[in-house]
Each structure stands twice: as C-alpha cells, then as structure tokens.
C-alpha cells in the first residue's frame, strides 16, 4: 500500500499533468474527491502562477474552505489577483475567526481592501475581534454562535438552529442569554435531540457554565479544552455578557503553537509563528542570533574562572581533559530537571505552591543520579583511563567523581527551582529552562571542580 506521502506525490503529478494539458473539467472532478485541507496543500505546492487559475476552477463553497486552509503567503497572493466580486464571495463563505486570522497576517493595503469589500455587519465583527490583544481569548473567538432564550421550547430552539445554523461555526453547543446578553446557561445539541420537543430551555440547560473573559491568555484558555474536554467555550466581557465562542479546532492550534514555542525557547530560539520552511533565511537567523550572542558572552565567566586557575592547570593539564565531561553532565542533569518542571508548569500539573515538594524531590533524585554517575566514572577512570595515562591517579579520579556528585545535585536543584521562580515573578519559565541553566551550571561546576582540586591535590 502506498504511504500518505506517495499518494500525495501521485496527486500532485496528476494535477500538474491535467493543468499542462488544460483538461480543466477533469481537474475539477479530481478535486471533488479530495479533502479541502489537502487541496490547499496541493495548490500551495503548484507553481505560483497557476494558483489563481486553479482556485477559480474550484466550486464556490469548496474554494472558500480551501482558502481558509492556505498559509498567509498564498492568501495574500490570491487576494491581490481576485476581483472585488470574487473576494466578496470568498469572504461571505469564511468564518469570522478565520477572516480575522488572515487579516492579522496581511499588509495594511490588503487589509484595507478586505474591509472595503466586506459587508458592514462583517466589518463590524472583524473590527471588534481585531481590537483584542493578539494572544487573548478575544482574538481567538468567533462571533457566529447559536443564541437561545430561556423561555424557548426545544422545538423553537430547533427552528432557530435550522434558520441560522448554516452560518454558524458550530451548532453543537448553544448558549442561553438574557435580553441584556448576559450568559445564563448552555445546552448541547445532544441534550436538545434527546429532550421532548415541548420542554423549556431553562429546564434542560446547564446553568453552571464555565467561560473565559475576552482578555484571558490564549494558552490558559486552550488548556481548559484539554482539561474539560469541551467542543466550544463561551467568551464573556467583564459584565458576563456573551460576546463570542472559541471552538476546539482553534484551541488545538493554540496548544500546538504553544508547545512549539516552549520547545523553541528551550533551544534558545525566539519563537516564530510561521513554519520553518516558510520562514526566510534572514528571519530564521534573526530569531537565533540574539540568544547565541548572549549565551556566548555569558560563557565569558567560565573563561575567567579557568584563567584564574591558569597556573595550576599548567601543572595539572590532566584536569583540563575532564572539564567538557563535567560541564556536559551537569548541564544535562540541570536541563532534565528544568525542562520537566517547565512542561509541568505549561500543562498546569505543577503550581508555585509545589516548590518545596519539587525541590525536595529533585534533591533526592540528584543524590541517586550523582552517586551512580560518580561510581561509574570512578571505575572507568581507574580501570580504563589510568591504564594508558599515568596522570590519572586515584586522587584525580576522586576529585572528578566528587565534583560530579556536587555538580549534579546543584544542577538539578537550581534547574527545578529557576523556572518556577521565573514564572512567579512574571518571566517566561521556558527561557530559563535550558540554555540559561546550562550557563549557570557550567560556571558553578568549574568553581566546585577547582575548589575540590585545590583541597585534594594542593594546586
């Protein structure tokens, strides 16, 4: 059976062939059997100049859905060649939140054109959502949801859904509001379907509704989907008036983006919002160079520490040979702790009040790790290294192994505490998580190494 990747290559080839042969009707038929998300990817992979032609071949409803799946480059290229009428047709079919996502990525001239073409009601909603901070619940929401009244019957609710549902992003969770728009309950389509048609909404609705305010952070909002298994979450203003809803597909995007951001920060990269292959060389360079430079300069401290012991190292050059091993091992130990704790903080599994518990736990883990590493290393130094290198005496082996124990304990305890303290004072724990800890732990390891060496070898 061909893999997904091979199937995709076959489809791309078939489409290219049909395009070259100008068999447009046949091409239209091929697209009928392909999911819109896949069509979008295929069109992006075609030569750029073919995009408008192929896009116009698609049936109208399909075209709009495909458009929503395009990356912002393809969207922009397309908007620039579409007529006002064509653009209006696409906008009519798009959900408001997808339109806003698109607008956020476009240059001002394109935004202006979109807002000019959009009907006034749509323009109003777009402006409302654009007004919220970029990483807030308000910017994620859509204003297209099903609103019910408490005194409706189930039958009336269905009439309402049938009349307005086609334009709503979801009809599976309906919200019950008072006349002043205050949110008082929710009822799922499942409950509606399983209730008597003359039952009153206020009798079957869930009145204990979990909601977020427009300014809630998008990561915390998305985590609520993870915790409560919601399909949609209502967004209210400070007076508990319902202004929009967030659907689970957008929450998944946020969860994936936030995980990617955390991973990037842990690897000393400033987060970018575009996929790697779509980011230019210069932009990628810009997202990496500040951290590299900062960390390079901060490694100056380790240089100073070594220089301070220059003379002693001239006499005991063998000590130099183990500096990388000691620093790497301590750095890895610290990263293990900091990365674990940082991920726990992101997933709300760890809170600040757990700090003493976490430190005590890491202390015990580091004792075990330090002891095992020191033993393995001591044995290796005496049984292997000492055979070929007479400078590796048992005193040297002891210095190195003792340093390992102390450095691993320090690395793990600092590694777990720093991200938690960072979060408490409003810094980003992920930035603390890996490269920063390594720099601190490196310096510390060297100090411990030379102190122990001074005491035991008299350097």
Per CB under 8 A, contacts with its own copies among 188-227 are: 189-190, 193-194, 208, 210, 225-227
Q: Which residue has the tokens 């750095």?
A: 331
Cα separation of the two ends of the chain: 68
Q: Which of 142, 333, 401, 403 binds its own copies (CB under 8 A)?
A: 333
Is 374 within 8 Å of 344 (Cβ atoms)? no
Residue 86 or 385 with smaller CB distance to its own copies: 385
Q: Encode burial over 418-429: b for 16+ CB neighbours within 10 A, e otherwise.
A: bbbebbeeeeeb
Q: Which of 87, 96, 129, 161 binds its own copies (CB under 8 A)?
A: 161
403 backbone dihedrals φ, ψ, rounded to 5°: -60, -45
Residues 6+ apart with CB under 8 A from 239: 182
Q: Which residue has the tokens 């202006």?
A: 112
Crossing angle of the two packed helices 108-117 and 84-93, in degrees rounded to 10: 80
Residue 300's alpha-carbon distances to 8, 257, 304, 309, 442, in angstroms, are: 50, 34, 6, 15, 11
Binding to its own copies, residues 229-288 (CB under 8 A): 229, 231, 248-249, 251-253, 255-256, 259-260, 262-264, 266-269, 275-277, 281-282, 284-285, 288
Distance, in Å, from the CA atom of 334 to the CA atom of 146, rounded to the nearest integer, reads 50
Q: Which of 369, 431, 447, 453 binds its own copies (CB under 8 A)?
A: 369
Kindly state the smallest distance separating residue 127's Cβ from its own copies, in Å: 25
Judged by CB under 8 A, the stretch of 42-50, 101-109, 300-308, 449-457 that binds its own copies is 300-308
Binding to its own copies, residues 387-446 (CB under 8 A): 389, 408, 434-435, 438-439, 442, 446
Residue 86 or 262 with smaller CB distance to its own copies: 262
- Residue 236 belongs to what H/E stretch? strand 232-236
Kindly state the smallest distance separating residue 85's Cβ from its own copies, in Å: 27
Is 438 within 8 Å of 335 (Cβ atoms)? yes
CA angle 117, 121, 126 (to 5 degrees): 75
Q: Which of 23, 80, 303, 421 binds its own copies (CB under 8 A)?
A: 303
Kindly state the smallest distance separating residue 64's Cβ from its own copies, in Å: 14
Kindly state the smallest distance separating residue 152's Cβ from its own copies, in Å: 16
Residue 5 or 121 with smaller CB distance to its own copies: 5
Distance, in Å, from the CA atom of 264 to the CA atom of 366, rounded to the nearest integer, reads 26
Kindly state the smallest distance separating residue 95's Cβ from its own copies, in Å: 11
- Residue 158 belongs to what H/E stretch? helix 154-164
Tokens of 165: 């549902």
Binding to its own copies, residues 310-329 (CB under 8 A): 310-311, 313-314, 317-318, 320-325, 327-329
Residue 163's alpha-carbon distances to 155, 171, 187, 189, 450, in angstroms, are: 12, 11, 18, 15, 78
45 contributes a contact to its own copies by CB under 8 A: no
Kindly state the smallest distance separating residue 193's Cβ from its own copies, in Å: 6
Judged by CB under 8 A, the stretch of 44-52, 72-80, 116-124, 165-173 that binds its own copies is 165-173
Is 89 within 8 Å of 294 (Cβ atoms)? no
Kindly state the smallest distance separating residue 405's Cβ from its own copies, in Å: 13
Kindly state the smallest distance separating residue 434's Cβ from its own copies, in Å: 7
451 contributes a contact to its own copies by CB under 8 A: no
Residue 237 or 354 with smaller CB distance to its own copies: 354
Residue 108 or 239 with smaller CB distance to its own copies: 239
Kindly state the smallest distance separating residue 385's Cβ from its own copies, in Å: 8
Q: Which of 103, 114, 187, 341 binds its own copies (CB under 8 A)?
A: 341
Kindly state the smallest distance separating residue 335's Cβ from its own copies, in Å: 5
Residue 198 or 310 with smaller CB distance to its own copies: 310
Tokens of 431: 């930035």
116 contributes a contact to its own copies by CB under 8 A: no
Distance, in Å, from the CA atom of 232 to the CA atom of 240, rounded to the nearest integer, reads 17
Binding to its own copies, residues 78-107 (CB under 8 A): none
Is 432 within 8 Å of 418 (Cβ atoms)? yes
Kindly state the smallest distance separating residue 380's Cβ from its own copies, in Å: 7
Residue 86 or 442 with smaller CB distance to its own copies: 442
Residues 6+ apart with CB under 8 A from 297: none
Cα 114 → chain centroid:
28
Q: Is 212 helix (H, G, I), strand (E, B) or coil?
A: strand
Site string for its own copies, 129-148 (x = CB under 8 A): --------------------
Question: Which DSSP letter does residue 299 get?
Answer: T
Tokens of 146: 């099903």
């Amino acid at each position: 059976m061909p893999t997904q990747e091979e199937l995709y290559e076959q489809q791309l080839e078939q489409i290219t062939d049909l395009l070259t042969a100008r068999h447009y009707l046949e091409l239209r038929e091929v697209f009928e059997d392909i999911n819109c998300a896949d069509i979008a990817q295929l069109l992006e992979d075609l030569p750029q100049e073919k995009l408008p032609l192929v896009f116009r071949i698609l049936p109208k409803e399909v075209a709009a859905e495909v458009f929503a799946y395009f990356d912002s480059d393809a969207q922009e290229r397309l908007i620039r060649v579409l007529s006002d009428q064509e653009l209006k047709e696409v906008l009519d079919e798009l959900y408001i939140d997808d339109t806003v996502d698109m607008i956020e990525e476009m240059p001002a001239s394109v935004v202006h054109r979109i807002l000019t073409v959009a009907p006034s009601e749509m323009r109003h909603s777009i402006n409302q959502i654009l007004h919220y901070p970029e990483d807030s619940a308000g910017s994620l929401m859509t204003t297209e949801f099903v609103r019910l009244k408490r005194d409706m019957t189930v039958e009336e609710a269905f009439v309402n859904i049938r009349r307005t549902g086609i334009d709503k992003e979801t009809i599976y969770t309906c919200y019950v509001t008072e006349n002043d728009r205050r949110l008082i309950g929710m009822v799922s389509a499942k409950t509606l379907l399983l209730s008597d048609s003359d039952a009153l909404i206020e009798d079957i609705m869930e009145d204990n509704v979990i909601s977020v305010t427009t300014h809630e952070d998008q990561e915390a909002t998305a985590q609520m989907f993870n915790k409560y298994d919601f399909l949609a979450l209502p967004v209210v203003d400070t007076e508990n008036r319902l202004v929009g809803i967030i659907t689970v597909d957008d929450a998944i995007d946020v969860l994936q983006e936030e995980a990617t951001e955390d991973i990037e920060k842990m690897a000393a990269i400033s987060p970018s919002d575009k996929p790697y292959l779509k980011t230019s060389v210069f932009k990628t360079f810009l997202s990496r160079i500040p951290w590299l430079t900062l960390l390079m300069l901060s490694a100056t401290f380790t240089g100073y520490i070594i220089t301070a012991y220059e003379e002693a190292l001239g006499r005991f050059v063998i000590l130099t040979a183990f500096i990388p091993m000691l620093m790497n091992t301590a750095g890895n130990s610290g990263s293990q702790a900091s990365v674990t704790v940082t991920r726990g903080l992101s997933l709300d599994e760890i809170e600040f009040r757990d700090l003493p518990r976490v430190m005590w736990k890491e202390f015990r883990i580091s004792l075990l790790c330090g002891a095992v590493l020191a033993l393995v290393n001591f044995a290796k130094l005496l049984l292997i290294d000492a055979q070929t290198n007479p400078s590796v005496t048992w005193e040297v082996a002891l210095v190195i192994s003792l340093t390992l124990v102390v450095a691993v304990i320090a690395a793990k305890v600092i590694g777990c505490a720093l991200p938690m303290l960072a979060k408490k004072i409003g810094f980003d724990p992920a930035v603390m998580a890996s490269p920063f800890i390594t720099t601190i732990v490196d310096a510390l390891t060297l100090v411990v190494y030379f102190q122990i060496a001074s005491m035991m070898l008299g350097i």
